[in-house]
Chain A
Amino acid sequence: MKPIEIGRLLRAGTTGFVVGCRVSQLEAPSFGALVRVPLGDAYQVYGLIYDMRIDDDGLVRQLVTADGVDEHIIADNRINRNVPLEMSVLGVGYQQDGRIFHLLPPRPALCLDLIYLCDPQEICEFTAAGRFGYFRHVLRAQDLPVGELLAAHVQQVQRAHLAAGDPTWIERATRELITLLRDDYPTLMSVLGALADAVSGDVVGEA
């Protein structure tokens, strides 16, 4: 399976990075998706998409006030214009010499590095490695919609594990979250509420 390229790195730090992409590349990634940045020498950084932003400019602001926008104009603005389209990614781990670590990466990715969406096998490998250590990075990010992010992520990961014949991953993940949030009841309730919505939505979707 050909890896799905979703953009290139704009800027990065130890705890995360920002990816710029074309509108035509925006169909593949989604909120909560696991992505990877291969950096060579058997080293790659993993992250979770927690924000996707499409900024406006003067022309776009002007166009939205006009009566009806022609399809050519929409295509011109999406394909030809330098529309700022950014995805923010939270760093959740890295792989070195075939071994996955749920720790912050030793060094960040560099500008213009390619970012790929993880395929189901890569998702299973990353999320099954260790003991959900990467949840720490998500729960620590106070400014993010933690519950929604975890719900979106868990929903995607659960599908990958179910397809790989492992129905127990979600139970283990939920138990770990309860343990990590046992002293933070409001966040725990928010996370469990979002998870319940995500999982029940998936069940309804499958029915």
Chain B
Amino acid sequence: MAVDFQQVREQVKQLGENARQHEQSLQDKRKQASELLEHHAGNLQKLREKVLRVAQQFDQSLRCAVPVEAGFRPPEALDAHFPVSQMPAQVVVLAADGSQIAPDRHQQVRYCLINVGGICIQHGQALPPVIHVESQLFYGDELYTPTGTITESTLALRRDLHEREMLLNLAQGFSQPVVSFTDGPMELWGPREVEAQGEFRKSLEEYLKLLRQLAKLGVITAGYVDNPLADLVVRMLEVAGASESELSQVRAQHPLRGVTDKELFREILLPGERSAVFALQSHSAAQYSEELSLHFFYLNVGRDAHPWLARVEIPAWVAGNDEQLNLLHASLVDQCHILGAHPYPYALHRAHEVAVVSLQEKDQITQMITLELHNRGVGIGDKSNKQYFKDQPGRTSFRGS
């Protein structure tokens, strides 16, 4: 049965009727957020103390930006913006991205696969970029965790771990500076299922170990979030704007709800510019301590009249080192300019292109496993009936000669 377009049409009409009013309300909130940003621009330490106090006393789940600690790096006003510096002649750019085939109980064989792609571009060397791919198949007992079975989220966790591991492997042995990045936040996100939380803790420990090794090597690393929808700075401004009596209720108060950081910084950052560096206040981010503690900045990788914002997450060892920060900033702008009107780091796109597993490839792997098991006389299950009917060809028409 197809979509009932009559029903949808009514809802779309209603959406259109409310859209103008909604937009007006958002514009007012954006203006309010900009004013708060300007008002608190230089109030860094007091704001930091307030945010940390709220997180400690009233809302331990508070997730927002926080001005960096005094002395960690030169103070940067909340609305500060910094132009891109010259790209050095000698720099190595690394990117990694991953994709996966999740276990599918409807198929005749159960397996999963993680495929991680990476690219290494050596600027200043007359060498073509080198691509890498690592494919890892999980089958049989490998599909089980100590407390259950591999789920999509545990697989995604392992994939994230493999991506960072690939960056570490690729970064070895270079004498010139190395800039590396993955797509998405740096913070590792765990599965929600209780039984998978042991797996998450284990992966997190390994992840932190990898980050420490990257720090030891002096590798600049980052997570690139394209078209971010986060409101980390906006949430900080909500805390900044709350009176002392309102702080105890801050968890439920969202006067600027709907406004995103991207909208705030789009008005401030010129093409190529980055925002101030912020620290990340969050319960989960607290596991990243000292040199690994998470920071971020916004970056306008767009052109005149066509701003395009990205959020760049970085660990403290990069955030606290201006030389590394400038190099990361310049490399990301350079990478994004390669793709012209749709700015996105070229290296990341290529890593994705290498890593992505197509449906055709998935079918081929399934066929390879089925054939191998069949040749060895091992019993193979059946596709579920649900899958059988899904795989049936669509309607065909009669064609007369």
Contacts and interface: CB of A to CB of B under 8 A. Distances in A.
A62 B339 contact: yes
B229 interface: no
Q: For chain B, which range describes its interface: under 10, 10 to 19, 20 to 34, or 35 or more residues?
A: 10 to 19
Chief secondary structure at chain B's binding surface: mixed
Interface stretch (B62-70, B140-148, B317-325, B341-349): B341-349
Given A59-B349, A59-B353, A72-B121, A80 B338 contact: no
B340 A63 contact: yes
A63 B344 CA distance: 12
B349 A72 contact: no
Given A59-B353, A72-B121, A67 B128 contact: no
A28 interface: no
Interface in B66-84: none
A50 B128 CA distance: 31
A72 B340 contact: no
A65 B340 contact: yes
A76 B340 contact: no
Contacts of A62: 339-342
A76 B128 contact: yes
Contact of A70 (B131, B338, B349): B338
Interface string B238-250: 0000000000000
B341 A65 contact: yes
Contacts of A75: 128-129
Contacts of A76: 119, 121, 128-129, 131, 350
A66 interface: yes
A196 interface: no
Contact of B128 (A63, A65, A69, A79): A79
Contacts of A81: 350, 353
Nearest to A76: B129
Nearest to B339: A62
B129 A63 contact: no
A76 B341 CA distance: 20
Given A80-B128, A80-B129, A63 B338 contact: yes
B131 A73 contact: no
B158 interface: no
Contacts of A66: 337-341
Contact of B123 (A67, A69, A72, A80): A72
A84 B298 CA distance: 38
> In the complex, which of the residues A62, A66, A72, A81 has the most CB atoms of chain B within 10 Å of its own CB atom?
A72
Interface in A41-92: 59, 62-63, 65-67, 69-73, 75-76, 79-81
A63 B131 CA distance: 19
A102 B350 CA distance: 47
B129 A72 contact: yes
Contacts of B349: 59
A71 B338 CA distance: 11
Given A62-B342, A66-B338, A80 B121 contact: no
Contacts of A63: 338-340
A72 B350 CA distance: 13
Interface in B181-213: none
Contacts of B341: 62, 65-66
A79 B341 CA distance: 24
A183 to B, nearest CB: 35
> In the complex, which of the residues B122, B338, B339 has the most CB atoms of chain A within 10 Å of its own CB atom?
B338
Nearest to B344: A62
Contacts of A71: 126
Q: Which A-B residue pairs are the 10 nearest by beta carbons? A: A66-B340, A75-B128, A76-B129, A65-B340, A79-B128, A80-B131, A72-B121, A62-B339, A72-B129, A73-B338
Interface of B: 119, 121-123, 126, 128-131, 337-342, 346, 349-350, 353
Given A63-B339, A66-B337, A79-B128, 20 more contacts: A59-B353, A62-B340, A62-B341, A62-B342, A65-B340, A66-B341, A69-B338, A70-B338, A72-B122, A72-B123, A72-B129, A73-B338, A73-B346, A76-B121, A76-B129, A76-B131, A76-B350, A80-B131, A80-B350, A81-B353
Interface of A: 59, 62-63, 65-67, 69-73, 75-76, 79-81
